Structure formats: structure tokens, C-alpha cells
């Protein structure tokens, strides 16, 4: 069996920026072990797989080590492939996922993702978190991840995490954030227990970040910048229990996957 694969840089308008994701269209679901093996082989923070459905598409995301419930940049990358390469003509794509129905609307070059909000709540400060970041945050909250708030963008940029320590924490990962110099807020994201030491640009983290900063800054429309080495920009808007995340994406590569003839591929019924 041969499969098409696209590698897309998300939340950027130039290749070699933003967050790269692999996107694999499927006609039906093979065994999960193959999906995980492809994601491990790609060794990107996320590989997305999708199949057609009555509502639109069923979408799943895999890191190099496991399947995840929600991924923003790989959803943006998948929508980019469906709109720009596969010629989807409707304005809105409906994705059926482990996090419920997600929607991506094409607005010119921008793709706007409609995701569930994950407002973080204050929590106790773990000394493992402090040691893992090498800095003591001024505030710590938790939702799907720990959210550590610092006083300045410079502090966030300077953090050199101990990934072995952060991997000991019980949640998915750690977001660090602060007010931005030329954006409402900046962030970085570490998820070593998921095989992602530092994610370049993390859409799902902004489901937690946007509600926090909207409440703190008193406004629902926010500009965000993830200040990883590659970096990326995300426009955020909070509406009730949903977060709208907008960005652009560019295709870096088109490829053909040809698993070994010795590999038995089982298709799930």
C-alpha cells in the first residue's frame, strides 16, 4: 500500500518557520500500530491522519510516542491540505475528533479554527515544575497542561528547561507565558513525556492561554506569539466556551509513503 503524505509548516507564511506537521489522507483506517509507526518515523511533533465522513472528515493526531486528544497546528495543516491541495470547495470543514467536532473556516489566506476553550484554574506550585523550568513563576494554573506565568517576555525566552524533570509531571505538558513586547502575550510549550521536548507553535495550548489572557487583559481578541526557535503567530478570540485561532500555512513537501512489502497492513472494519 502506498500513501500520500504532505509536510506543512503551520502558523507561518514562509517555509522553515512555524510548526511542521505531516498530513496523511486515508481511504480507511489501518491498524493503529501503523499510524503510530508512521508518526514515529516522521519524528515531527504531530502527524495527522484523516478519512472522509458524512459530516466532513474524521481526524486523528499522533506524536512520535502516542495519540493525542487535540492538536492545533496539525489541524491547521490538514485544513490547508484539504483546501489548497485537494480542492475542497466549501467554506467550512467539519472535523470529527476525540475532542468533539472542530471547525475550520477559510477566510482568504487565513484559516480560522473553532476549538473548545480550556480555561486553566489556579493550582499548587510544584517544586518539580520550578526545578524543571529553572525559574519560579509568579502564578501557576492548570488545565490540560500546567500554565506558568512570568513577568516578562525576556524571562520566557531565557528558560532552559530540564526535560527529564518536566516529564515527571502528571499533566500533558508545561506552557510558559508572559506579556509580549509586540503581541498581547508570548508563550513556549514543553511536552517531553509525549516525545515533544519543545513544540514550535502549539494551537491547543492557546485553548488555555487565550481564556487566561482574555480575563487578565479584559479583552477577547488577542495577538499571540510563540517564541520558540522557529516561532509563529496566532490570532485568538474567545467567544463563550470556544476559542477561535487563526493562522496561515505553507506546503513544504509532498511525498509518497511505501511501507515495506514485508509489513502486513490490517485495515479496521
Active site residues: 46
For residue 166, give the H/E element and its range. Answer: helix 163-166
Q: Does residue 208 contact residue 143 with C-beta atoms inside 8 Å?
A: yes
Query: Is 50 within 8 Å of 44 (Cβ atoms)?
Result: no
Q: Are 71 and 99 in contact (CB under 8 A)?
A: no
Of 56, 153, 66, the closest CA to residue 104 belongs to 56
Exposed, middle or buried: residue 71 (CB in 10 Å: 0-12, 13-18, 19+)? Answer: buried
Ramachandran class of 134: left when φ > 0, alpha when ψ lies in -120 to 50, beta otherwise: left
Q: Are 76 and 10 a contacting pair, CB within 8 Å?
A: yes
Q: Between the CA of residue 151 and those of 128, 181, 210, what are the distances in Å? A: 20, 12, 17
Question: What do you get for the CA distance between the two ends of the chain, in Å?
Answer: 17
Residues 92 and 11: their CA atoms lie apart, in Å, by 18
Torsion, Cα of 224, 59, 37, 145 (10° steps): 40
Amino acid at each position: 500500500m502506498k500513501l500520500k503524505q504532505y509536510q506543512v509548516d503551520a502558523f507561518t507564511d514562509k517555509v522553515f518557520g512555524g510548526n511542521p506537521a505531516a498530513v496523511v489522507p486515508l481511504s480507511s483506517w489501518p491498524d493503529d500500530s501503523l499510524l503510530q509507526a508512521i508518526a514515529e518515523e516522521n519524528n515531527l511533533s504531530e502527524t495527522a491522519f484523516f478519512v472522509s465522513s458524512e459530516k466532513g472528515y474524521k481526524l486523528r493526531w499522533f506524536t512520535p510516542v502516542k495519540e493525542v486528544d487535540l492538536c492545533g497546528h496539525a489541524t491547521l495543516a490538514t485544513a490547508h491540505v484539504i483546501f489548497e491541495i485537494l480542492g475542497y470547495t466549501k467554506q467550512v470543514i467539519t472535523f470529527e475528533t476525540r475532542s468533539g467536532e472542530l471547525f475550520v473556516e477559510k477566510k482568504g489566506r487565513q484559516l480560522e479554527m473553532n476549538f473548545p476553550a480550556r480555561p486553566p484554574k489556579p493550582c499548587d506550585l510544584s517544586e518539580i515544575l520550578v526545578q524543571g523550568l529553572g525559574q519560579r513563576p509568579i502564578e501557576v494554573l492548570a488545565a490540560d497542561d500546567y500554565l506558568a506565568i512570568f513577568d516578562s517576555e525576556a524571562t520566557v525566552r531565557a528558560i532552559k528547561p530540564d526535560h527529564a524533570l518536566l516529564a515527571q509531571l502528571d499533566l500533558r505538558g508545561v506552557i510558559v507565558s508572559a506579556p509580549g513586547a509586540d503581541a498581547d502575550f508570548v508563550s513556549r510549550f514543553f511536552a517531553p513525556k509525549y516525545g515533544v521536548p519543545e513544540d514550535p507553535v502549539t494551537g491547543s495550548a492557546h485553548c488555555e492561554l487565550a481564556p487566561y489572557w482574555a480575563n487578565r487583559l479584559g479583552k477577547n481578541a488577542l495577538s499571540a506569539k510563540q517564541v520558540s526557535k522557529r516561532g509563529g503567530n496566532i490570532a485568538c478570540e474567545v467567544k463563550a466556551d470556544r476559542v477561535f485561532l487563526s493562522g496561515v500555512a505553507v506546503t513544504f513537501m509532498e511525498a509518497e509513503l511505501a511501507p515495506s512489502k514485508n509489513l502486513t497492513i490490517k485495515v479496521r472494519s
